[in-house]
Structure formats: C-alpha cells, structure tokens
Amino acid sequence: MLSGPRSAMLMAARRLSFRTTTLCFFAFLLALAWSPHASATDYVWRNVKVGGGGFVPDIVFSPVERGLAYLRTDMGGVYRWDAAANRWIPLLDANSNPNYRGVESIVPDPVDPNVLYAAVGTYHREPAAIMRSANRGKTWTIVPVSFRMGGNEDGRGLGERLAIDPNDTSILYFGSRFDGLQRSTDRGTTWSKVVSFPKGGLGLPEGRKGTDAGVSFVIFDPTDGANGTPSQTIFVGVADPGEHHLFRSSDGGHTWTTITGEPRPDLFPVKAQLASTGILYIAYSNGMGPSGITDGAVYKLDTHAGVWTDITPDKSAPKPTGGYMGISVDRQNPDTLVVATIDRAGDGDTIWRSTDGGKRWTDLRPLSKRDVSTVPFLLWGEKEANFGWWMSALAIDPFDSNHAAYATGATVYATTNLSDADHGKTLTWRPWVSGVEQTAVITLASPPKGPHLLSGFGDIGGFAHFDFDRSPPMFMHPIFINTNTIDYAGMAPNIIVRSGTHQAHAKEHTATLAFSADYGKTWSPLYAPMPAGYIEPKEIPYNYSDPYTDAAIVTSADGKTFIVMTQPTPVLTRDRGKTWIAVEGLPTDGRPVPDRVNPKRFYAVDFNKGVIYYSNDGGTSFMPLPTVGLPSDIRDDKPKWREIAWPLAATPGEADDLWYLSQGKLYHSTNGGRLFSEVPSKLNVNALAFGKAPPGRTYPALYAIGYMGDLSAIWRSDDRGGTWVRVNDAQHEYGRAFRCIAGDPRIFGRVYVGTDGRGIVYGQPRK
C-alpha cells in the first residue's frame, strides 16, 4: 500500500489521466457528431407500400431455376422475385451512385442461377458500370466502363443488350448505344470494343438532337457450340438509322456479316427471341420508343435456311398506327409466342398470342380482365384498369407455359392461365408488384392526426397513407397526374389542401386544386378565378403547367383560409371557393407560409429584396418586416421548378418560429422573421423537416436531406440543428436520389423520405 508524497503524486497522476481520458472520450463523441462520415444510428428502413407505379422496361426469367425472375427499371434499380416470400426484393438499395439507378440491361447466368449481371447508367451524361453478383444480387462487384448508357432515356425498352455465352459463361457481350458492340472474356471484369463489328456507334450525342438506340439486342445460338467452348453463332440487332440492322457472326464474334433480306429497312429490330427450332422472332418499330412509334411489324427468320416470313399480327387496312416491342417465345412450345404492341392508336395497346409460329394470332385484350384490388390506384377513377401502354416487357415463364407477365408504364401484370386464350376463355391479370416501389415522389407531409403520411407523386397523383402495408386508393375528385403541393391546417389537421398537374384524360373534373375535411379520405375540387387575359388550352397535354394551373395552395392554421398563388395576383377564399378576394401586398412569387399555431399569421419571402413579409389579418394583406440576419443576396434561393421544396418553413406547434434554407445553410427565427440567426453546422442542407420532439424535450426534432463532405445522406438533429447524426446507412443508400422529406410528429425518430425511383421509404430507431 502506497502512502506519503509519492502516493499523492500517483493519485494526482491517475486523476489527471482520468480527466484526460474523459476529455478525449467526449472530444471523440463531439468529433463523431460533426464528422463528415458520422456513424448512422441504428435505424430500420422500410417502404411505404403503393405498388409498382413506374415503367419497367423488361422482365427476365432465369433459364435454369424455376421461380427465379428479375425486373429492371428505368430509375429504381433491379428486383428479384423471391418465390418463398412471394415478393420482389430490391437489389440496389446499397448503391450510392445516383446514375446507377437506371438499368440499361440485365442478364441472369444461363448455367449458374446465383450469378446475375446488370448494366447500369441512368443518363449518358454520367459514367456507367457493369455490375456482377454471385449471390443473386445480395452483393455486387462494380466495374466502371468507358461506354455510356441511357437506362432512363428513349430506347430503354430495347434489348436485352447484355448477353452471356451459354457454352462459355466467361464471355459476355454488351450492345451499347454510342460505342458499338462491347465484349468481355473474363466475366465482366474488363471490356473491349469489338472492332470487327460493322456498326461502331455514333459517339456521344453532344451536338446532336436526342439520344441513340445503338445495338438493341445480342443473342447467342446455344446449339452452335459445346460446353466449355465458345458459341460460334451470335445475332446482333442495331436500331440506328441505316441500310442494315441485323448482323451475324459464325465464328464466335471474330467476323461479322450482314443478314440479308430484311423486308423493311425503314423499321428497326427492337427485341428478339431465338426459339429452339432455330427461328429468330423479331419485333420491329420505326422508333426506339417508348413514345413516338407510329409503325412496326413482326418477322421471323429461319436462321438455317435464311428465309424471312412476315408474321405481323394486325394486317387490317387501315391498320392502327403504332409498332411492336415486347416479345417472348414459350420454351416448352417453340411455336408458341406472344408479342405486344407499343404506342398503338385506337383502342390502345394489346398482346397477341400465336401457337403456330405466327400463322394465326389471338388478340388477348378482349379476353382479358384486370383484378387490381390489391393496387387500387391502377383504376385511375375508372371502373376497370387500363390494359396497358409502353409494353416493352413481356415474358412467358420458361418453366410454366401458363405463367406470363407484362409491364406497362405503371405496373407489372401476371396471369397463370395464359393457355385459356386458346379456348376463348377469360384471362385474369393481377398486379405482380409486391415489393416493387418504382416511383418519383414530389412532396410529403405528416399531420399530427389522421393518416401518418400524405404524399404527392409524379405520374400517379398522391395518397393518404392510413396503413403502410396496404396500397391506398389514389386521391380522387379531382385526379392529378402530379401532386405538387400538400398542406394541412396546423391546428385542424383534418383540413388538407393540395395542388397538382392536370390529368389529361380526366373526363369529369379539370381542377388543379382540391381540399379535404376528413384527413384526405374524400376531396372536393377548387377553382380559383382565372387571371385577366388567361386563355385555357383547348386540349390539355400530358404534364401540362402554366402560372394558373400550376398555382400552389396553402391553408391557415385553423383551416378556414386557403391562399392560392395564381399569377400575377394571388387570391384567397374563406368559404371553400365560393368567393375569392385578391391578396394585397404579397411580393411576386412570394408563396405564403402559414404559421402553424396562429391562424391569422402568414409569412412570405421576397427573394429580390431579401425581406420577410407577414400578414396578421389571415392573409388579406402583407407587409414587409425589417428583417435582419438573412444572407445579403437570396435571389438564387427561389425554387426554379414546382417540385422543389420551398426554402421558408414554419415550425409545427411553435408560434412565430421560422426556418430559412439558403444555399445549404440554415437560418432560424423565433420572432416571426424579424431576426434570423445562422445555425452553425458542417451539414449542407438540401431539404428540412420537423418531427416529434426527443424524449424530455418540447422542440421538434429536425430532419434533413444533406451532405457533409462527400457523404449525402438523411440526418436528424435533436438540438435545433446544433449537431446532426446520420440515420440511413450503407445498406440503405437508395442511389442517394432523395427528393423530399417529412418527420412524423407522433413517433419520435420516424422520418419519411421521398426518392426518385424507390418510392417512399421510412426509417425509425430499432427498438
């Protein structure tokens, strides 16, 4: 036992060591909170169920394992069908590259069911990659490539562009848009251009209008080769303008010849399938699609005899305009095939089925019904769901001739009784989308009562989500193509207003404004007065907008006042649209922001002057405030597109409490906009939201889409923006394509994120 001066010295040293260790520990925690790569909190992430919702360019079944199939999407990654779980599994949620969301092509290995390849590149402006998985997409090896792709550009329904040699699976070919035919001999690890291929590509389309189709498909003949020896016969289609579009190699890709005798050089081969009989079935169109196709045909080529046969299903005179794209041959019955029209005028697109190699065809549309009870938004207000459009994806299950599927611009349909068409019986198609959330989300709101979430989508309107595990009915009366803004009354959240983009084919209502008094269950249209001199278009095109039809709407805290930002003069109503009065003094484009507690108070920002305006008379008139603390120049803060969140926000449950977002920095006011203070932070904020206060506190938690350093993520602050912690992790990156955000005011830690391609995801702390 120590005593005396030496003992005192040792005790002092130990105390100093303890203090130093403690200080270092707290310094570490502080550094962690502020680090550009701060650790994510332990969150569980899920999708809010809507079901499908977007364009699926192709469905690909594994040729070697029953019940294994894949979807590729144009902006939402790849999905694998899990037969045991009876749902689709997203495979690219761990991807952090926004340009890898759009999938140009996929191909499952023809020998090993565990191996899968994907060609990813949403837009040709950004680099692309080939991805390889040895475990069905659970993890990936990513190989950046020099050739660009266009997974969400015109021509995305062509293919498949990726192909694996079934006799030597180390050999792959990829048909690129701009750089001809590419080949790998080491399972996708390295790639080189096939210089002997006659079509070298047109190069990137800088200076040229639009994009290119390039090589549309690559098909190996598995019978012309042996196991372990490369296949000798390869067929390649090209959908660029030119005299020749179909090419063949008979020596394993070393040399190429033009396949002569193509009956229609004005048409492009867009998809093809090779039957076991040696017949190559080809769908032709006069464009790459998915829109703008006006003509097409279907041909078959006897690859042994070199004989072409026109087997176009619809040869009526005059035949409807449009072409053909989706095509699939029944592996169990090589003379049986289906083909889908695309952009067909008249009654719309259909699927044709033949059981004799194309001599006779049955139109499946009149024999089909759609049961969309599990995905009710597909009705779009009609009694029956549309049969489909943009049907480039069409596949017969290679292990089950009765199981077939096709995709539209909004969903995937499947049937299990395809052969009933041979007897004139009804085919029942049901959405095959459990687990698929392939949508772009524009706006989100989470009220303190009623549904936990309100959503505004691109292309499919919006929803009130009372049950996250069930697909909800679409907002009705009126239906919007896009729902651009949603607002609820802070003190009376049963009152909800929304604005959106006109649905071109809506027959009953033309309103682009609506309100609900029952938490979004039912709606009534609103018609703001048209500005002087405004001329309404005779025909409303798709996704149409102008300063009148695009006007945003907000509601006061008590839900009694609605203000609509018609231009040049905003208007308000206090009697649900029966009468309207002009709003005085509001700055141009100064969208009002209602105080969430005081129904008389509204705020607005003048981007040109850098001044906050306010109203104390329920929005009738606005006056400028002597604002202090905002940046000197905020003109660039004005959103340039209707789908961008407004930079000024009022805090739920807090009177006179405002937040302003300027070029990634946050400014906070607690006195109604008279004084703003910058919140020091290393987080660059792109979007801000409020949620339930942390335990033991009263001020809402803050949520943000933003980035520290090079880490773009979802963040939460429990101390008014003082410190931030990441709440998503490396397995839930979603391509970092985050569009909007909302915090739940009833459940601490829960945050909703609208993505560009993966629908709505929500996370909350693991219990």
Q: Which residues contact 350 (CB under 8 A, 6 or more apart)?
A: 340, 341, 344, 363, 364, 365, 387
Which three-class secondary structure state does DSSP give residue 690? strand
Give the integer Cα–Cα distance in Å for 218 and 213.
14
Task: Compute how many other C-beta atoms are within 10 angstroms of the C-beta atom of residue 4.
Answer: 7
Partners of residue 469 on adjacent β-strands:
none
> How many angstroms from the chain centroid is the CA of residue 640?
21
Judge whether 251 counts as a catalytic residue.
no
Give the integer Cα–Cα distance in Å for 388 and 378.
10
- Examine residue 680 and say whether the peptide bond preceding it is cis (omega within 30 degrees of 0): no
Pairing, β 246-249 against β 412-415:
unpaired
Phi, psi of 637 (to 5 degrees): -80, -15
Three-state SS annotation for 140-190: CEEEEECCCCCCCCCCCCCECCEEECCCCCCCEEEECCCCCEEEECCCCCC
Which three-class secondary structure state does DSSP give residue 421? helix
Give the integer Cα–Cα distance in Å for 751 and 736.
16
Judge whether 459 counts as a catalytic residue.
yes
Q: Which residues contact 682 (CB under 8 A, 6 or more apart)?
A: 34, 36, 708
Query: Residue 599's closest CA among 553, 544, 550, 562?
Result: 562
Per annotation, catalytic residue among 459, 656, 718, 744: 459
Partners of residue 501 on adjacent β-strands:
482
Q: Which two tokens stand for residue 550?
A: 């695009």
DSSP string, 4-30: HHHHHHHHHHHHHHHHHHHHHHHHHHH
Q: Which residues contact 53 (CB under 8 A, 6 or more apart)?
A: 377, 410, 411, 436, 437, 438, 439, 457, 459, 460, 759
> How many angstroms from the chain centroid is the CA of residue 111?
32
Query: Residue 69's closest CA among 393, 324, 417?
Result: 393
Give the integer Cα–Cα distance in Å for 58 and 468.
27
Pairing, β 351-354 against β 362-363:
antiparallel
Per annotation, catalytic residue among 58, 74, 109, 168: 74
Partners of residue 59 on adjacent β-strands:
71
Give the integer Cα–Cα distance in Å for 646 and 755.
17
Active site (catalytic) residues: 74, 459
